[in-house]
Structures are given as C-alpha cells and as structure tokens.
Amino acid sequence: MKRILLFTIIALFGITIFGCSRFTPVTTTTTQATTTTTTASTTSGTTVSGQTTISESTTTEALTTTSWDKVTISYWNPLTGADGVVMRQLVQMFNEEYEGRIEVAETFQAEIDYYTNLNLLTPMGRGPDVAIMHSYLVQSYANRGIIVPIDNYIESSQVDVNPNDYIQDVVNSLYFESDLYGIPLDMHVVGIYYNKDLLNKYSLSVPTNRAELLAAAHTVQNGEDALGNTVWGLPISAVWPSEWIFTTSLYQNNGDELDSEGMPAYNSVEGKTALRALTDLVHTEHLSPLNLSVDQDLFYFQTGKALFHIQGSWMLNSMVESEINFGVLPMSNMFNSDGEEYSEYIAARSHTFVIPYSTKTVTDAKKIAVMTFIKYLGDHSYVWATAGQIPASNIARATAEYQALEHHPGFGDVENFRVAEASPYYHEAYSPIYSRVTSAMLNANYNIDELFSGAVTEAMQLIQEAQG
C-alpha cells in the first residue's frame, strides 16, 4: 500500500484547498546532530558535514553538553500572511537558542503550490526533513508513502515528545495502520465574532444557543432597519468558510462525513438536517443577503454593518486591526440545541508536523535535530497562538502567556473540537459536498436529495480513481 512506486503517479494528484504566495525560501539557523560522519544536502544545495558521537540515551538536554557540528534541517510549510509572520518569528527564536548547533532552513509557499511541490519533489529525494501538513491529509500521504512514521523518530532520538501531551482527538487521527505519522502544532476552528456595541445598544446578552442567536440577530437587524440603517444579523458567504460551517452543523446533528469503511456518510437524515440548519439562516430567517462572495460578510462585520460573523480563528488579528469592538463566542449549540453531547461539537483542523520520505538514510543526529525543533515549537506554541491558532500542546495551553490571551477562550472548549474522520480517502469522499453547500446557499429552491446524491456519486468516482 505504501510502496514508493506509487510516486510515479503523484504528479497527477491535485488537491483544491484554500490557502494562504509564490515559492519563497527563508533561511534561519539551526543545528543538526550526527552520530557518524555525515554529509547532508539542504534544499538550498548547501552541504553540511560533521562528526559527533551520541549515545542512545541522547535527549534534548544533551544538546547543551555534547560537542556538535552545526546541522541544518530543511523545513517546509504553507504558512503565509499573518500565520507566516508568526512562524518566521518562531523559527528565528529557535535558531537563536540553538545557534551553532541546529539550523532550520525554512521554505514557505501558497498551499496549492506547496502540496504540488511536496508531491513531486519528495520522491525525487528533494523533499524537506520536516514539513507542516493539514491533519485531514495525513492519512492520504501516509497511504501513498510520501510521509513516514514519526514514532521511529521519537524513539531513536529520545527527545521528550510525548503524544499524550497533545489534544488526543487530533493525535488519534494521525495514526495510519498502527503507526503515528504526525505531531500536531495547533487546532483551528471557526467561531462567531460579535459586535459588542450593537449588543449593548439593544441590551442583549451574548447568545449561548441557536434560539438566542436568532433572537439577537433579528432584534438588531429589525431595530436598525427601523432607524433607516442597513445592518445584517448574520451575513454569510456562500463560498467560504461554508464547508467549515456545514461540517460543524453535521457534527452537531449527530452526522458523520464518512462511515467505518471510509465511504461517504453525509447523505443521511442528519446530513440534510445539517444543511437546512445552515441555509435557513439565509432563506428562512433572512439574516444575510443572497450570493455573498468570499469576505463580503467579513467586510460587513468589520465596517459595523453586521451583528454576527462566522469566521476562522486565523482571522483574529484581522479583527483586532479593524478596530471593531468585538468578542468571540463558540459555535457549540448553534445548529442544534437538543442538549446532547454532540450538539457541542465544533469542526476543527490541525497544522501537523510530518516527516517526508527520504531517499537517503537519515542519521540519528538529524532525527534528534528534527524532533528537538518539533518539541520546541510545540512547547512555545503560545507564541503561535498570537496568530489566532489554538495550541495542540497541553503544555503550551497551560502557560501564563497563553492564559493571558483575551479572545482564545471564546472559540470554545478544546474537548468539543472534533477533527475529520481518519481515512486515506477523506478528501475524495467528503469534498464534493462543498460545492453543493454553496449551491444550496445560493438557491432557496434547491433540491436537497439531488445535491446529496450528486455529491456521493462524484465522491465514489474520486475514490475509485485514487484507489486505482
């Protein structure tokens, strides 16, 4: 299943994902450790050679007591924009702390280009030593042999990276055929941003369930209309982040993306109820204009023309910079308030550290360097949280620095965050529903049965192609 011969067809593999610029390499200094005389090529073509003796009990602390030749590890990620700024900061922090011992050479680019390059260059032996991957893709890449188990790195490096120190739901999703293939950096979700000034103007409390949300939205929208102002209760783009909102609604109505065999499971009573709970906000409650394109809803909110706005945690800094007086409330109970545990669920994804396949033997020294870097970024992900992400590391979330962040608690309890069903064909099986969600949000007279059956038909075709 994981034979490298499959790499010959990787060029045909494409994933349409929403992303964060052109291929832009950035280098920072880190050190690589080596157990024997080693020559390793970095992505920039620099050759690093060194000789060091490391015992099997080497740990992170050994980096401060062992004589090291500088080791460079290559690190790829698709993090640009506000995320990228904070990631550059973290890499610089690491390189400064491990100066003369480990150097991280970072390369970043837009997501769609990023995964294309990862697919094409890794089997040619030109991939990175460590990379960031979205959690829902890990199973697929493991299945095709493009990434390798990370538990071997944990064991052989003896760096103190313990999977139990991270949110377990996402860790569990990173196992494929009993091997662990990733260590999560974060969790990111969508939340409901609200205009504090408008709530206060109408003496409204922050909603805790769907009924309260709808009542507040109508009160403000109708009240402002009576004053001759156009203010929407909850404008929603039909395009983005509608897939996140629908998936949250699916979970809250006790539905699933996939069944136990990895096949589409959303063509169900629960799935259709979930879609109606979303589209009713537009077609029945009339809390949003029709046919909003990407970020039009964001514009309404940031200019004071909307009470509520559903958007990702990754947009937190944009909200702060807009100077709107806002708060954040979780999506729990906003698409079903029947009191069951599943009505609390919030769809989540994770940026995850993975180890791309290498055509060369990876030394224990390089494994130590890689795992030291992963451990450092996890433990210091309270810095990463300033980009709006929620650290997957229990250690980072317990720090005073993270606890002092104002808005992060508003995105919800991490115990309610639910990641995608684990399957090597998750994207093929589930992504066809996304365009149908958009169609339903654009057309009040949508045929729900046709939309769901069409999505499943397309999904089965994509799965067969991927398996073939």
SS3 465: helix
Q: What per-residue confidence (pLDDT) applies to 222? A: 98
How sure is the predictor about 5, in pLDDT bands with cuts at 50, 70 and 90? very low
**Three-class DSSP category at 56:** coil
Is residue 232 within 8 Å of residue 306, measured between CB atoms?
yes
Among 6-20, 336-350, 393-407, the least confident range: 6-20
List, in sequence order, every residue forming a beta bridge with 348; answer none if it has no partner.
189
Say yes or no: do domains 4-185+350-398 and 189-348+422-467 share a fold. Answer: yes
What pLDDT does 425 receive?
97
Written as six digits, the tokens of 26 are 């950035």
Average pLDDT of the segment spanning 137-164: 96
Task: Quickly state the pLDDT bin for 49 (edges 50, 70, 90).
Answer: very low
**What kind of architecture, by CATH, is found in domain 4-185+350-398?**
3-Layer(aba) Sandwich (3.40)
Per-residue pLDDT, 68? 58
Read off φ and ψ for residue 40, nearest 5 degrees.
-130, 135
Exposure string for 152-175, b = 16+ CB within 10 A, e = fewer: ebbebbbbebebebbbebbbebbb
In which band, very low, low, confident or very high, does the pLDDT at 468 lie, cut at 50, 70 and 90? confident
Identify the pLDDT of residue 445. 97
> Residues 419-430: what's their mean pLDDT?
95
Instruction: Output the six-digit token pair for 401.
Output: 């620095």
Distance (Å, whole) CA 121 – CA 249: 38
Span 189-348+422-467: which CATH code?
3.40.190.10
Confidence (pLDDT) at 346: 98
Q: Sign of torsion, CA 286 291 297 299?
A: negative
- Kind of pairing between the strands at 102-108 and 130-134: unpaired
**What's the rounded mean pLDDT across residues 102-106?**
98
Q: If pLDDT is split at 50, 70 and 90, which confidence band does 290 have?
A: very high
DSSP state of 239: S
Mean pLDDT of the 3-25 span: 39
* pLDDT of amino acid 127: 96
Both tokens assigned to 418: 């639910």
pLDDT in tens, 344-366: 999 999 999 999 999 999 999 99
Residues in the chain: 468
Domain ranges of the chain: 4-185+350-398, 189-348+422-467
- 104: β partners: 73
Model confidence band, residue 69 (pLDDT cutoffs 50, 70, 90): confident
What pLDDT does 47 receive?
Answer: 31
Quick: pLDDT tens for 455-466. 999 999 999 999
Determine the Cα–Cα distance for residues 212 and 228; give it in Å rounded to an integer. 24
Question: Mean pLDDT in the chain?
Answer: 88
- Look up residue 434 and give its two tokens: 């996304």
pLDDT at 34: 33
How many angstroms separate the CA atoms of 285 and 265, rounded?
A: 28
For the cut 60, the answer to whether the pLDDT of residue 30 exceeds it is: no
